[in-house]
Structure 1
Amino acid sequence: MKYSTYIILLLLLASCNSFYLNSMKRIGLFDNQAYLEEIKVPEKKVIFVPMQHVGTKDYYKDVKYKMDSLQNLGFKPFIESIIIPDYLDINQKEYFYKKFRKITGNVGNLYLDTINNTFVGKVKLPNNHNLINQPPNDELFDMSEAVNIDAHLDSIILKFEKMHGTIALTKCDLETDIYDLSYNCKTLDKKTQLLFKELFTFRYRDSIIADATLKSNNRKIVLVYGKNHFEGLKKFLEINKSQ
């Protein structure tokens, strides 16, 4: 490779990395504070705490401080995490998870690699970035009072299949362990993945969460959810509260 070509490639890589770093800043991954939002719901006080899979140590420290304060004031934490229902046996749980993996391509390794110092496997981070993966919920607030009101995994898959058609698992899908981070089987195309993300990762789950919030007997609720869910949740709560 000619020296000039090598230099151009290095510059292109540096430019791409700079673009990703700036994008990370714009979406708030380097924020040191969690900015709370109140959603107007009749006869309830509903506070939204924006969560993100990666953030600064100070961000999660601030989340913990604010959650401690809210819980001391009597707020009930409603949390997100797709529910794997107990009525499924171990084989059914694995079956639906493998379908979810087939749809999304997500094998749980999409965030911060603290060993190689990279984000989503492609963005090289500066040594002083101060980012960490989201801590477990029990390190951020008192889980003894928390309620998971998210959607059920089997419900998500079955509803998607009703719209899209049956998700057929290949030999590769079936033989690759659900904990294998090197999963490299053929997934659904990007267009279908984006459709699933819009309709089910967000819209369907947001509707489930909003409905549970409105039907709850709790008058003080703190929604601890991914920040990208805020607008959808707010929309569903505002639509349903008038019905």
Structure 2
Amino acid sequence: MKQTIILLFLFLSCYVNAQGMLTKFGIYAANKSFAISYYEKQGREVATIPMIHVNKPAFYEMTKRKIDSLRNDGFVVFYEGINSDVTDSLQLDTLMRKFRHVTGFALMDYMDSENEAFKSLQNKKYVSQSDVDYGVNLDTDHHADLYLEQMIEMFEKRYGKIVLNNCDYKTSLGKKYKCTKIDENKEYYILNGIRDQHVLNKIEQSDAQKILVVFGRNHIKDIYSKIQSKGWRFQKEKFKRVLDF
């Protein structure tokens, strides 16, 4: 059985520790600057929706309306999510610990009661993207992200084998991580570099005339510059102010 792990992660700067950036202020600031971007190339169109993975219900009600509207207009939806085909629990546990060794955080829902890193957000005002209908249909829309095992394989091919230490094994995945110093370049590579390139490759290889990319805000910021280098012309709709936050 395929085990799906949704990566619920937002940071406003690629070079800041993830645990310090998903805050009430960061969510509010991102909501205020929400906008859907559009790109055109040789008669094809790409739209991007920047997701914020923990937010108020009204945000996801808004994204659902937008995604449903664009899908009805002929857009094929490409969505984010780190999946895994690994069925052996010990092997999957090792992969998740290797991921944490590089990034400093575990692949866990921010609203998981065992995720101590984000206790301040675990209240009635906020909900997790994975717990609500935010507009993506996992059965009919297109998964355009890497698998966890692919990410680790690609990372180790470039940087060498990830060697877990005793602290890595003893520290539960939900605990705050202090086992090693995080290399920001390596963190960026595994979180953004290879994943953003993957979705861009999917766009280029697709025969769909209209594609809607529903990915985390930081990925969309990276795609903004990278997609234009491939000849896509940028245009943007007016900013949609998210009220009542």
Q: Find the counterpart in structure 2 of residue 215 from structure 1.
A: 205
2:180 to 174, 188, 201: 188
Q: Does 1:200 align with 2:198?
A: no
TM-score (norm 2): 0.70
Greater relative CO, 1 or 2 (CA 8 Å, sep 6+): 2
Asked if the contact 2:102/2:187 (under 8 Å) is kept, the reply is: no
Unaligned stretches of 5+ in structure 1? 1-19
Q: Which residue number corresponds to residue 140 of structure 1?
A: 135
- Please identify, of 91-100 and 74-83, the stretch whose mean Cα deviation from structure 2 is larger: 91-100
Q: Which runs of 4+ in 1 moved over 6 A?
A: none
Question: Deviation digits for residues 52-109 of structure 1, max 9, x if unmatched?
Answer: 111222111111111111121221110111232x3x4524333322211222232245
Distance 1:35 1:141 in 2: 18
2-side partners of 1:167 and 1:241: how far apart? Answer: 36
Change (3 A) 1:231 1:51: same
**Contact 1:44 1:220 (8 Å CA) reproduced:** yes
**Separation in structure 2 between the aligned mates of residue 109 and residue 161 of structure 1, nearest angstrom:** 22
Q: Write the distance in 2 (CA, Å) between the matches of 1:109 and 1:153.
A: 13
Residues 1:136 and 1:39: Cα distance change in structure 2 (over 3 Å): farther
Deviations 1:10-57 (A, max 9, x none): xxxxxxxxxx654443233xx5x9521112333322111110111222
- Select which of 143, 148, 153 maps to 1:153: 148
- Is residue 54–residue 111 contact of structure 1 (8 Å, CA) maintained in 2? yes
Residue 17 of structure 2 corresponds to which residue in structure 1? none
Question: Structure 2: 5+ residue runs without aligned partners?
Answer: 1-22, 233-245
Asked if structure 1 preserves the Cα contact closer than 8 Å seen for 2:27 and 2:55, the reply is no
Report the equivalent of 1:121. 119
1:64–1:80 distance in 2 versus 1, CA, 3 Å: same
- 2-structure distance, mates of 1:199, 1:171: 25
Q: Could you say which residue in structure 2 is the equivalent of 1:64?
A: 64
* 1-structure distance, mates of 2:24, 2:91: 40
Counterpart CA distance in 2 for 1:113 and 1:144 is 24
The answer on whether the counterparts of 1:39 and 1:47 sit within 8 Å (CA) in structure 2 is: yes
Aligned residue pair count: 208
Shift in Å at residue 146 of structure 1?
0.8
Larger radius of gyration: 1
Contact 1:83 1:152 in 2 (8 A): yes
Q: Percent identity?
A: 24
After superposition, the Cα gap between the structure-2 partners of 1:153 and 1:124, relative to the gap in structure 1 and judged at 3 Å, is: closer
**Which structure features the higher share of helix residues?**
1
Corresponding residue for residue 104 of structure 1: 103
The root-mean-square deviation of aligned C-alpha atoms, in Å, is 3.3
The amino acid across from 2:174 in the alignment is L
